[in-house]
Structure 1
Amino acid sequence: MRGLFWVLALFALAVAVALGARLNDGYVLLVFPPWRAEISLNLFLLALAALFVTLYVLLRGLALTFGLPQRVRQYRAGRQREQASLVFQDAVRLLFEGRFGQALKKATEAHAAGTAPGLSALIAARAAQRMREGQKQQGWMARAKIDDPRTEAATLMLEAEMMNEARRFDEALAALEKLQDKQGRHIAALRLELRARQGLGDWDGVLKLARQLAKRDALPGEVIGEIRTQAHLGNIARRTSDQGQLTSYLRTVPEEERGRRVVLAGVRALVAQGAEAEAQKLIEAVLDAADNGEWQPELVAIYGRLSGGAQTARIAKCEAWLRRHPDDARLLKALGRMCLRQRLWGKAQSYLEASLAVEPTPEAHLELARLCDQLERPEEANKHYRASALLDMH
């Protein structure tokens, strides 16, 4: 549409010029003594226009001719930049493809061409690290820190990641500390710090970071739960030699972080230290609050082996749990053990036989054998000893 408009405009202009020239009777007198020339005004204007066009073309041609070397240089520089950009892109692609030798070569070429020198050095460092060429890796990391200040944060992140992979966790934390001073902390940096603190066994730091990541919804809930569990297990293992520290720590564990494994490890550590009263309190607190999905038969088995304290009160507590879990073989076995310890022979036999009816186990047969020995019933005792041995063999 615009083309048609311009064509019509040119035709209109041509018509206007033709009409104007036809009606124009003016002339131009040129005097060059001793010569005189008289020409029409229309011819003069036409010649003037032709002269202007000729001069313009001549000057334009001269400018293009003398500017040709500069344009050639610019063209070559542009081609070099384009080729260097393609080399850099190839380095990135090859790194992600896992072709680290070629990625290192391309990154070296891109760095030499001056294309994103900081990023090129980082790519080369990562490729060298994947190829286990430590000296090249360190050299490229040093260049990355110098070549481009804009890549400082990226350099520190990559350094922390590579130090984690090399299990040099102290150096990873040092790099992350520098990053925090300059750029603050973000989720990716928190994840790297979490990995480093796990490697160092800094379980208190792990718990702190896990809670921060949970607030930011940075990791799936299952992963956060497993990280917390591992941290608590590590702290419990570290405190097994000090009963006071262990007891204090278990009391400070938030209720939502008291998973099955954490409670079980804590109870076992307390029992190993002889702190059966604390173990009893912890077991009762957990099992009293447990519903069917959170019931822990392992704790019941430990509860039944506790020797000190008021056995009668423990029997009553287990009988209360039995009303909620009547088919729990371990609970029935624990009751049988405690009744046997209190010389309640009839109740002990009843509970142990009920446990065997739910799930035959070597321990229940062995407890019944001991009961029969106490009651001087050797034939029945031998039968249960044999049954226990057969189950152990299977």
Structure 2
Amino acid sequence: MKRIYWLLLILVLVAGVASWMFFGLPLAEHKGYVLIAFQGFRYESSVWAFVAALLVLWLLVYLLRLSLRLLVASGGLLNPWSRLHSRRRVRLASEQGFLELAEGRWARALRHLKQAADSSPQPLSYYLGAARAAHQLGQYEDCDGLLEQALDRQPQAELAIALLHAELQQARGQSEAALETLQVMRARHPHHHLVLRQLQQLYLQTEDWSALLGLLPDLQKEKSLGNAELSELERQAWRGRLLQAGQPVGGDAQAALVLLQQAWQAMSGAQHKQPELVAVYAEQLRQLGAEAEAEELLRPFLKQHYDIALVRLYGLLRGRDLSRQLQAAEGWLKQHPEDAGLLLTLGRLCLHSQLWGKAQDYLESSLTFQRHPETCTELARLQAQLGDLERSNSLYQEGLILLDSRLCTPALPATT
């Protein structure tokens, strides 16, 4: 409208100046005539007087609008409940609240962020910050109430609110509630990477290895984890699954053995070649009394993939054929003649077969390469059996000293 007013004014002025310049006629000599008659109203004037009246009227309207605008603006400055002051209060409360939240001043942060949320048309971030502050204060009911208010005000932010809710529930130790929240979100957002990551963390925390293994394909498909991290997570999950399966429920070792074997068969061929997983499976077999099966697993594996931890475990097993077991271990000695762990294993296998002389030779050789508390203990037992109690006691003492140094146990105070 301002442009139209100015355009009319310019046109009138241009028309007047043009008539005076091109026709050489003074404006005053050609006044024109304007007549406005409506019912009982009658207005008569010259054209230029009418134009001047329009200009004056326009000027009055413009000044009136300007005055009203200034009056409204001044009223906003003076009125503490005006929109201007409301926006200013929200800004100050949010700035102060987030600063206090970052600094760990939970009570003040809660108060300021609630104030900002109540007055803001987009309160989500304020409600989430206030919920965190309430959680830190241990006010869990208030925390959940703030999240419900956030959902009521911004229902389109359901996923963001639910993710924070599950995170806080997990931090409180409410694993079942957190799992329920995340499962609802997974049903509605099955491919969202943050939902999958939080489920992964929850399954790790609760040691729900079966559920974690079921989640791995989705984590891989959505590329929520890098290849190295995913491989490590898969290894950790299978390790936990094997350990969990090998725990007898109600003392039923046979049922636990069946579950353990089923878990091992469910693993891939590549996982059957990972020494750590093989060690866990073999140890669980040993604990459940299936030493022969564990020995038959380790013997061909060690022939192709020599591993010192598995070699030490092999010496604890009693296979079906002790002579064949000893022969296999002595075959490895050709490639690893200075391996103290292998020599300890050979000494133990000789003890199983009651080959006392060979056992002593292997154990003594092991000690020449490494002074290990297990080797000292095995040799001390053998010396005691052979009647050399002095040497036996000396080896026991050395083993205790070596074990004490490994555990970094402080020395006992001297008695007075």
Same fold (TM over 0.5): yes
- Render the CA deviation track for 1:370-391: whole Å, top value 9, x for unaligned: 66788x7x4xx34541342231
| 2:341–2:366 Cα contact (<8 Å) kept | yes
Which one of the candidate residues 254, 266, 272 is aligned to 1:252?
A: 266
Two-structure CA RMSD over aligned residues (Å): 3.6
Output the CA distance in 2 between the equivalents of 1:103 and 1:209: 37
**Counterpart position of 1:94:** 100
- Shifted more, 60-69 versus 238-247: the winner is 60-69
Output the CA distance in 2 between the equivalents of 1:208 and 1:19: 92
Superposed counterparts of 1:171-210, under 5 Å: 171-210=177-216
- Shifted more, 204-213 versus 339-348: the winner is 339-348
- CA drift of 1:278 comes to 2.0
Unaligned runs of at least 5 residues, structure 1: 1-9, 33-43
| 1:103–1:127 Cα contact (<8 Å) kept | yes
- Shifted more, 331-340 versus 17-26: the winner is 17-26
**Counterpart position of 2:66:** 64
- The residue identity in structure 2 corresponding to 1:307 is R
- The residue identity in structure 2 corresponding to 1:326 is P
- CA drift of 1:106 comes to 1.3
**Counterpart position of 2:398:** 391
- The residue identity in structure 2 corresponding to 1:175 is T
**Counterpart position of 1:263:** 278
Superposed counterparts of 1:275-354, under 5 Å: 275-290=290-305, 295=307, 297-344=308-355, 347-354=358-365
* Cα 1:279–1:392 shift into 2, 3 Å: same
- The residue identity in structure 1 corresponding to 2:397 is L
Tell me the secondary structure at the aligned position of residue 326 of structure 1: coil
Output the CA distance in 1 between the equivalents of 2:383 and 2:96: 81
- The residue identity in structure 2 corresponding to 1:56 is W
Output the CA distance in 2 between the equivalents of 1:124 and 1:31: 74
- The residue identity in structure 2 corresponding to 1:277 is A
- CA drift of 1:70 comes to 5.1
Superposed counterparts of 1:110-125, under 5 Å: 110-125=116-131
- The residue identity in structure 1 corresponding to 2:311 is V
Q: Give me the identity figure in percent.
A: 28
TM-score, normalization by structure 1: 0.77
- CA drift of 1:290 comes to 2.4
**Counterpart position of 1:24:** 24
- CA drift of 1:202 comes to 1.5
Tell me the secondary structure at the aligned position of residue 305 of structure 1: coil
**Counterpart position of 1:355:** 366
- Shifted more, 55-64 versus 381-390: the winner is 381-390
| 1:365–1:384 Cα contact (<8 Å) kept | no
How many residues of Structure 1 are paired with residues of Structure 2 in the alignment? 363
* Cα 1:161–1:366 shift into 2, 3 Å: closer
| 2:123–2:153 Cα contact (<8 Å) kept | yes
* Cα 1:108–1:283 shift into 2, 3 Å: same
Output the CA distance in 2 between the equivalents of 1:343 and 1:182: 66
- Render the CA deviation track for 1:336-388: whole Å, top value 9, x for unaligned: 332344355664444333212212345545555666788x7x4xx34541342
**Counterpart position of 1:213:** 219
* Cα 1:93–1:116 shift into 2, 3 Å: farther
Output the CA distance in 1 between the equivalents of 2:373 and 2:150: 66
- Render the CA deviation track for 1:80-131: whole Å, top value 9, x for unaligned: 2243234234333332332221221112212322442344333222211111
